[in-house]
Structure 1
Amino acid sequence: MCTALSYGSSYEAVETRCDGVDNDCDGVTDPATWSPVTPLAYPLLKNQVSSLRVAGGVLAAVFDRPVGARIVRMDTSMKQVDGTNVPVDVLDTSESVGTVRSQLLSTSRGPALYYSSTGVMADHTRGHLIPLDAQGRPVLGKDGSAVDVVLFDHPVGGVASDAAVAAGGSQVFVAWANGPYGPGAHEVLGTVTDLDGKVLAAPRVLMRMAPEGAIVDHVEVLGLSDGSFLLAVLQETGGLGDELVRLQRFDSDLLPVGDERTVHTVYSPTLQLVELGASPALLVRDTRNDDKLAVVKNLFDGGTQETVAVTTLDETAWFGATATSHGLEVAWLSVRSAGASGGDIEFNWRGRFWALGQKGAPKDWTPGAAPLPLHRFAEWVLLEELPERWMGALVMTSTQTPRTHVIQAVRYCSAPNPTP
Structure 2
Amino acid sequence: MCTARSYGSTYEDVETRCDGVDNDCDGVTDPPARWSKVASLGSALTRNNVSSLRIPEGLLVAVFDTPLVARITRLDASLASPETTEVSAAVTTQESFSSMYSQLLSTSRGPALYYSSSDGLPDTTRGFLIPLDAQGHPGPGPKGGTVLFEHPVAHVSSRVAMSAEGSRVFMAWKDASIQAPRSSRELHGTVTDLDGQTVSATRVLMRAQLTEDSWLGQVNVLALRDGGFLVSVLEEVGPLDGGQLRLQRFDNNLMPVGQERSFQPKSETQTALVDLGAGGGAPEASAAVVLREFEGVPATLSVVKNLFDGGTPELLTTTSSSETAWFNATATSRGLQVAWLSVRQQAPSGGDTSFDWRGRFWSLSPGGTRRDWTPGPDPLPLHRYAQWVLLEELPENWMGALVMTSTQPPEAHELQAVRYCAP
Which category describes the TM-score, using the shorter chain as reference length? over 0.9
Cα-to-partner distance string for 1:302-359 (whole Å, 9 max, x where unaligned): 1221111111111011001111001110001100011111111000000111001473
Number of matched pairs: 411
Cα-to-partner distance string for 1:70-90 (whole Å, 9 max, x where unaligned): 111111111143011111112
The answer to whether the Cα contact below 8 Å between 1:115 and 1:127 also exists between their aligned partners in 2 is yes
The answer to whether the Cα contact below 8 Å between 1:185 and 1:215 also exists between their aligned partners in 2 is yes
Q: Which amino acid aligns with 2:200?
A: A
Cα distance change of structure 1 residues 240 and 63 upon mapping to structure 2, 3 Å threshold:
farther
For residues 365 and 287 of structure 2, the distance between their equivalents in structure 1, rounded to whole angstroms, comes to 22
Residue aligning to 1:418: none
For residues 295 and 288 of structure 1, the distance between their equivalents in structure 2, rounded to whole angstroms, comes to 16
Residue aligning to 1:391: 399
Identify which of 317, 323, 326 aligns with 1:315.
323
Residue aligning to 2:34: 33
Instruction: Report the CA distance between 1:2 and its aligned residue.
Output: 8.8
SS in 2 for 1:387: coil
SS in 1 for 2:15: coil
The 10-residue stretch of structure 1 (400-409 or 32-41) with the greater mean CA deviation from structure 2: 400-409
For residues 85 and 228 of structure 1, the distance between their equivalents in structure 2, rounded to whole angstroms, comes to 33
For residues 81 and 223 of structure 1, the distance between their equivalents in structure 2, rounded to whole angstroms, comes to 30
The answer to whether the Cα contact below 8 Å between 1:333 and 1:351 also exists between their aligned partners in 2 is yes
> Is residue 348 of structure 1 aligned with residue 356 of structure 2?
yes
SS in 1 for 2:45: coil
Residue aligning to 1:168: 165
Residue aligning to 1:17: 17
The answer to whether the Cα contact below 8 Å between 1:66 and 1:96 also exists between their aligned partners in 2 is no
For residues 335 and 89 of structure 1, the distance between their equivalents in structure 2, rounded to whole angstroms, comes to 34
Residue aligning to 2:84: 83
Cα-to-partner distance string for 1:204-233 (whole Å, 9 max, x where unaligned): 111111221111212211100011111111
| Root-mean-square deviation over aligned CA pairs | 2.2
Q: Which amino acid aligns with 1:336?
A: R
Residue aligning to 2:253: 253
For residues 23 and 392 of structure 1, the distance between their equivalents in structure 2, rounded to whole angstroms, comes to 24
> Is residue 330 of structure 1 aligned with residue 338 of structure 2?
yes
The 10-residue stretch of structure 1 (26-35 or 211-220) with the greater mean CA deviation from structure 2: 26-35
SS in 2 for 1:359: coil
Residue aligning to 2:412: 404
For residues 25 and 404 of structure 2, the distance between their equivalents in structure 1, rounded to whole angstroms, comes to 32
The answer to whether the Cα contact below 8 Å between 2:336 and 2:365 also exists between their aligned partners in 1 is no
The 10-residue stretch of structure 1 (363-372 or 241-250) with the greater mean CA deviation from structure 2: 241-250
Identify which of 278, 287, 292 aligns with 1:280.
287
The answer to whether the Cα contact below 8 Å between 1:118 and 1:157 also exists between their aligned partners in 2 is yes
For residues 179 and 326 of structure 1, the distance between their equivalents in structure 2, rounded to whole angstroms, comes to 40
Instruction: Report the CA distance between 1:51 and its aligned residue.
Output: 0.8
The 10-residue stretch of structure 1 (179-188 or 120-129) with the greater mean CA deviation from structure 2: 120-129
Using the size of structure 1 for normalisation, the TM-score is: 0.92
For residues 222 and 3 of structure 1, the distance between their equivalents in structure 2, rounded to whole angstroms, comes to 47
Residue aligning to 1:59: 60
> Is residue 266 of structure 1 aligned with residue 266 of structure 2?
yes
Cα distance change of structure 1 residues 390 and 252 upon mapping to structure 2, 3 Å threshold:
same
> Is residue 104 of structure 1 aligned with residue 112 of structure 2?
no
The 10-residue stretch of structure 1 (107-116 or 94-103) with the greater mean CA deviation from structure 2: 94-103
Q: Which amino acid aligns with 1:234?
A: L
The 10-residue stretch of structure 1 (261-270 or 386-395) with the greater mean CA deviation from structure 2: 261-270
Residue aligning to 1:45: 46
Cα distance change of structure 1 residues 171 and 335 upon mapping to structure 2, 3 Å threshold:
same
For residues 14 and 122 of structure 2, the distance between their equivalents in structure 1, rounded to whole angstroms, comes to 54
The answer to whether the Cα contact below 8 Å between 1:240 and 1:267 also exists between their aligned partners in 2 is no
The 10-residue stretch of structure 1 (182-191 or 284-293) with the greater mean CA deviation from structure 2: 284-293
For residues 241 and 62 of structure 2, the distance between their equivalents in structure 1, rounded to whole angstroms, comes to 33
Instruction: Report the CA distance between 1:196 and its aligned residue.
Output: 0.5
Residue aligning to 2:70: 69
The answer to whether the Cα contact below 8 Å between 1:138 and 1:147 also exists between their aligned partners in 2 is no
The answer to whether the Cα contact below 8 Å between 1:131 and 1:147 also exists between their aligned partners in 2 is no
> Is residue 203 of structure 1 aligned with residue 202 of structure 2?
yes
Identify which of 171, 179, 184 aligns with 1:182.
179
Structure 2: 5+ residue stretches without partners: none
Cα distance change of structure 1 residues 63 and 340 upon mapping to structure 2, 3 Å threshold:
same
Structure 1: 5+ residue stretches without partners: 416-420
| 1:98-177 equivalent positions in 2, closer than 5 A | 98-119=98-119, 123-141=123-141, 146=143, 148-177=145-174
The answer to whether the Cα contact below 8 Å between 2:337 and 2:365 also exists between their aligned partners in 1 is no
For residues 187 and 81 of structure 2, the distance between their equivalents in structure 1, rounded to whole angstroms, comes to 38
Cα distance change of structure 1 residues 24 and 375 upon mapping to structure 2, 3 Å threshold:
farther
Q: Which amino acid aligns with 2:257?
A: V
Instruction: Report the CA distance between 1:413 and its aligned residue.
Output: 0.7
| 1:351-370 equivalent positions in 2, closer than 5 A | 351-357=359-365, 359-370=367-378
The answer to whether the Cα contact below 8 Å between 1:181 and 1:216 also exists between their aligned partners in 2 is no
SS in 1 for 2:82: strand
> Is residue 300 of structure 1 aligned with residue 308 of structure 2?
yes
Cα-to-partner distance string for 1:335-394 (whole Å, 9 max, x where unaligned): 001111111100000011100147312111111111111110111111111111111111
Cα distance change of structure 1 residues 191 and 12 upon mapping to structure 2, 3 Å threshold:
same
Q: Which amino acid aligns with 1:413?
A: C
The 10-residue stretch of structure 1 (17-26 or 306-315) with the greater mean CA deviation from structure 2: 17-26
For residues 76 and 240 of structure 1, the distance between their equivalents in structure 2, rounded to whole angstroms, comes to 47
Q: Which amino acid aligns with 1:98?
A: S
The answer to whether the Cα contact below 8 Å between 1:320 and 1:381 also exists between their aligned partners in 2 is yes
